[in-house]
Structure 1
Amino acid sequence: MDLTMIALAIIAMVAVITVLLSGVKIVQPYEQAIYMRLGKFVRVLNQGLNFVCPLINQVVKLDLRTEVLDVPKQEVITKDNSPVAVDAVIYIKVTDPRNAFFEVTNYRLATVNLAQTTLRSIIGEMELDQILSSRERINVSLRDILDENTDKWGVKIEAVEIREVDPAKKVKDSMEDQTSAERKRRAAILEADGQKRAAILEAEGKKKSMILEAEGKRQSMILEAEGQRLATILEGQGEAQKLRIMSVGAAAMDSKAMSVLSMQTLQEVGKGESTKFFFPMELTRLVEGISDYVGTASRIPDRPVSDMSDLERAVGTADDILGPIPTPEEIHEETAKVDKQVREDMEDVDEVLSKKPKQ
Structure 2
Amino acid sequence: MLWFILIPVLVILLILLISCICIVPQATAYVVEWLGVYQATWPAGLKFKVPFLMRVAKKVSLKEQVVDFKPQPVITRDNVTMQIDTVVFFQVTDAKLFTYGVERPMAAIENLTATTLRNIIGDMELDHTLTSRDIINTKITAILDQATDKWGIKVNRVEVKNIIPPAEIQDAMEKQMKAERQRRESILRAEGEKRSAILVAEGEKESAILRADAVREQRIREAQGEAQAIMEVQTALADSIKLLNEAAPTDKVLAIKSLEALAKVADGKATKLIIPSDMQNLAGMVASIKEMVTDDSAKK
Both structures adopt the same fold (TM-score exceeding 0.5)? yes
Instruction: Flag the 1:252–1:144 CA change in 2: closer, same or farther, 3 A.
Output: same
Identical amino acids, percent of aligned pairs:
33
Could you tell me which amino acid in structure 2 is paired with residue 61 of structure 1? A
Match for 1:111 among 109, 117, 121? 109
1:146 deviates by 0.9
Q: Distance in 1 between matches of 2:102 and 2:290?
A: 161
The residue identity in structure 2 corresponding to 1:65 is: S
**SS state at 1:253 partner:** helix
| Match in the other structure for 2:175 | 177
Q: For residues 137 and 28 of structure 1, what CA distance do their matches in structure 2 show?
A: 44
Structure-1 residue corresponding to 2:189? 191
Alignment pair present for 1:167 and 2:165: yes
AA matched with 1:224: E
2:222 counterpart letter in structure 1:
E
Question: How far has the Cα of 1:32 moved from its partner?
Answer: 1.8
Confirm or deny: 8 A CA contact 2:84 2:162 kept in the other structure. yes
Matched, 1:143 2:141: yes
Q: How far apart are 1:50 and its partner, in Å? A: 4.8
Which residue number in structure 1 is paired with residue 203 of structure 2?
205
| Aligned counterparts of 1:284 and 1:219: Cα–Cα separation in 2 | 54
Distance 1:174 1:26, change over 3 A: farther
Give 1:141 shift. 3.4
2:39 equivalent to 1:44? yes
- Which of 42, 60, 66 is the aligned partner of 1:64? 60
Say if 2:41 and 2:96, in contact at 8 Å, map to a contact too. no
Q: 1:35 to 1:278 in 2, by over 3 A?
A: closer
Cα separation, partners in 2 of 1:73 and 1:27, compared to 1, 3 Å? farther
**What's the C-alpha RMSD, in Å, of the aligned pairs?**
4.7
Q: CA deviation at 1:153?
A: 3.1
Match of 2:234 among 214, 233, 236: 236
Counterpart AA for 2:85: D
Q: How many residues align?
A: 250
Superposition map of 1:339-358 within 5 A: none
Where in structure 2 are the equivalents of 1:274-353 lying within 5 Å?
Answer: 281-287=277-283
Alpha-carbon separation, structure 2, partners of 1:292 and 1:70: 132
Label 1:82 to 1:236 Cα distance change in 2 as closer, same or farther (>3 A).
farther
Q: Does the 8 A contact of 1:143 with 1:160 survive in 2?
A: yes
Structure 1 residues 279, 153: closer, same or farther in 2, change over 3 A?
A: closer
Q: Structure 1 291/167 Cα, relative in aligned 2: closer, same or farther at 3 Å?
A: closer
d(CA) in 2 for partners of 1:60, 1:249 = 143
Gap regions ≥5 residues in structure 2: 1-19, 43-47, 267-272, 292-300
Please report the TM-score for the alignment, with normalisation by the length of structure 1. Answer: 0.51
Cα displacement string for residues 60-83 of structure 1 (whole angstroms, at most 9, x for unaligned residues): 934423676553422223466653
Deviations, residues 177-220 of structure 1 (Å, cap 9, x unaligned): 23222322332232233223323322332332233233333333
Whole-Å Cα distance in 1 between the matches of residues 288 and 32 of structure 2? 164
Aligned partners of 2:286 and 2:23: how far apart in 1? 156
Distance 1:154 1:203, change over 3 A: same
User: Cα distance 1:281–1:183, how it changes in 2: closer, same or farther (>3 A)?
Assistant: same
Distance (Å, rounded) in 2 between the aligned partners of 1:290 and 1:91: 129
1:249-264 to structure 2, matched below 5 A, reads 251-253=250-252
Distance 2:288 2:112 in 1: 149
CA contact under 8 A between 1:95 and 1:156: conserved in structure 2? yes
- Scaled by the length of structure 2, the TM-score of the pair is 0.59
Helix, strand or coil at the partner of 2:160:
strand
Is the deviation greater in 169-178 or in 124-133?
A: 124-133
Q: 1:210 to 1:226 in 2, by over 3 A?
A: same
Name the residue aligned to 1:215: 213
Separation of aligned partners in 2, 1:227 and 1:155: 99
Q: Cα 1:52–1:192, aligned 2, differ >3 Å: closer, same or farther?
A: same
1:35 to 1:113, Cα distance in 2 relative to 1, 3 A: farther
Partner amino acid for 2:75?
I
Question: 1:280 Cα deviation (Å)?
Answer: 5.5
User: Could you say which residue in structure 2 is the equivalent of 1:122?
Assistant: 120
Change in CA separation of 1:282 and 1:87 when aligned onto 2, cut-off 3 Å:
same
2:31/2:96 contact within 8 Å kept: no
Inter-CA distance 26–135: structure 2 relative to 1 (3 Å threshold): farther
Q: In 2 relative to 1, CA 291–124 (structure 1 residues): closer, same or farther, beyond 3 Å? A: same
Aligned partners of 2:217 and 2:92: how far apart in 1? 93
The code of the aligned residue for 2:216 comes to R
Helix, strand or coil for the counterpart of 2:71?
strand
Q: Please give the alpha-carbon distance, in whole angstroms, between the structure 2 residues aligned to 1:289 and 1:146.
A: 134
The separation in 2 between residues aligned to 1:87 and 1:242, in whole angstroms, is: 110
In structure 2, the residue matched to 1:4 is none
